[in-house]
């Protein structure tokens, strides 16, 4: 095992997406992640299918649960609760997204665990704050948090992935790493509270800033941008092409590439502010010009002029683009493919040690781990067993 977080033990009491995504990234970085699941059912996403992968595992579950060891514990059982408490007392990091107060009732709240483990970094993830019982589903957060109100055309529209969960997981990860650094300096652990609504409002950046600074909520604009023009899809002779012009120099190059250099000097379009004010007129002119040729032909012309542009790809096409660019977006281990960790490390590369685990498959290993002073011997033994099995 290797990675920048080698030797760090994570007790992952979270389920579904935000917490599991954060803990998977910690596992990629070398941390030992023990995933605590409910007996019989396990993580909710184990049953969120179709689709399933070649091993019969729901792709939702497998997308965020590699590099983890699974143990099923009934926290209402005295014996299993003792195991959970022992795990929390050993852990460097604990991540949970239980309803407020649920873990306190079982002796696993921060105020209880931190007494015996003062260095623990305890990250609690909720939908709307740790004192609020509103269920933390991404769709609900997108709706009440304003994201749907600025997405879509005529009707409010959700984003095509649970983006609030993903952003919340990234905020949780950032906070955990900052808390680890603080602990290294002071030996103090701490409680981290992350929620979907606050994470969403922060990630709305310019849109939430507009609401705060002007008192007016941004309007829904479909694929147009409130502050940049042209920055949207345009119809060509065969399909749509995205043009994303971020400054006046790019606009001037775009005009020249389209064979309309005079547009750049037109007072209606010479500056970004002017283009925003006259967006409909400019859109009509650009669309008329692009209608004379195909999206691929215009893309080649615009790319040569260093104008940001591109087609609207399917996800498979996006993965292929990343392959073509040398980004290595897909990893394969023992014949099973997954999207790769998104960061490259020059000195401490991530490792893909474990497939997403079957429910409770690592119970014996975790119990053995909790009886030892060091993590490495137990885990190395498990990996040696896996490698031997793969060779057979």
What digits encode the pLDDT tens for the residues 326-356? 999 999 988 889 999 999 999 999 999 989 9
At 229-263, the pLDDT tens digits run 999 999 999 999 999 999 999 999 999 999 999 99
pLDDT of residue 320: 97
Is there a catalytic annotation at residue 165?
A: yes
The residues spanned by each domain of the chain are 9-203+328-391, 231-235+240-311
pLDDT band at 136 (very low <50, low <70, confident <90, very high): confident
Please name the residue that has the structure tokens 């490259």. Answer: 344
Distances (CA, A) of 233 to 209, 230, 287, 292: 25, 9, 10, 16
The domain defined by 231-235+240-311 folds into formyl-coa transferase, domain 3 (3.30.1540)
Residue 116 has pLDDT above 90, yes or no: yes
**pLDDT value of residue 391:** 43
Q: Which of 92, 165, 266, 334 is catalytic?
A: 165
pLDDT at 375: 63
Q: What is the CATH number of domain 9-203+328-391?
A: 3.40.50.10540
């Amino acid at each position: 095992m290797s990675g920048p977080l080698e030797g760090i033990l994570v007790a992952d009491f979270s389920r579904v997406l935000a917490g599991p995504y954060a803990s998977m990234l910690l596992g990629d970085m070398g941390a030992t992640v023990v995933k605590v699941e409910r007996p019989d059912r396990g993580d909710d996403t184990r049953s969120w299918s179709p689709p399933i992968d070649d091993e019969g595992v729901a792709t939702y579950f497998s997308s965020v649960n590699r590099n983890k060891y699974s143990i099923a514990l009934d926290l209402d059982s005295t014996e299993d609760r003792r195991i959970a408490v022992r795990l929390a007392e050993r852990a460097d990091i604990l991540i949970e997204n239980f309803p407020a107060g649920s873990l306190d009732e079982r002796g696993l709240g921060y105020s209880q665990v931190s007494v015996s483990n003062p260095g623990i970094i305890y990250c609690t993830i909720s939908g709307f704050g740790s004192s609020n019982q509103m269920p933390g589903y991404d769709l609900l957060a997108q709706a009440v948090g304003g994201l749907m109100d600025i997405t879509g055309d005529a009707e409010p529209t959700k984003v095509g992935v649970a983006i609030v969960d993903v952003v919340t997981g990234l905020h949780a990860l950032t906070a955990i790493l900052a808390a680890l650094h603080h602990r290294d300096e002071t030996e103090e652990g701490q409680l981290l509270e992350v929620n979907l609504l606050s994470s969403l409002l922060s990630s709305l950046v310019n849109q939430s800033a507009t609401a705060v600074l002007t008192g007016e909520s941004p309007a829904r604009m479909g694929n147009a941008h409130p502050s940049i023009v042209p920055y949207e899809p345009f119809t060509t002779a065969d399909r749509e092409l995205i043009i994303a012009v971020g400054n006046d120099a790019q606009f001037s190059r775009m005009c020249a590439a389209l064979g309309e250099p005079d547009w750049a000097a037109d007072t209606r379009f010479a500056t970004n502010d002017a283009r925003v004010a006259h967006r409909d007129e400019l859109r009509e002119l650009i669309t008329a010009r692009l209608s004379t040729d195909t999206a691929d032909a215009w893309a080649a012309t615009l790319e040569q002029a260093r104008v940001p542009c591109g087609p609207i790809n399917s996800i498979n096409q996006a993965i292929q683009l990343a392959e073509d660019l040398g980004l290595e977006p897909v990893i394969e281990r023992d014949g099973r493919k997954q999207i790769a960790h998104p960061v490259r490390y020059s000195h401490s590369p991530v490792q893909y040690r474990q497939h997403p685990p079957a429910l409770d498959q690592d119970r014996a290993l975790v119990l053995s781990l909790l009886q030892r002073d060091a993590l490495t011997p137990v885990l190395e033994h498990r990996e040696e067993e896996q490698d031997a099995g793969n060779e057979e």
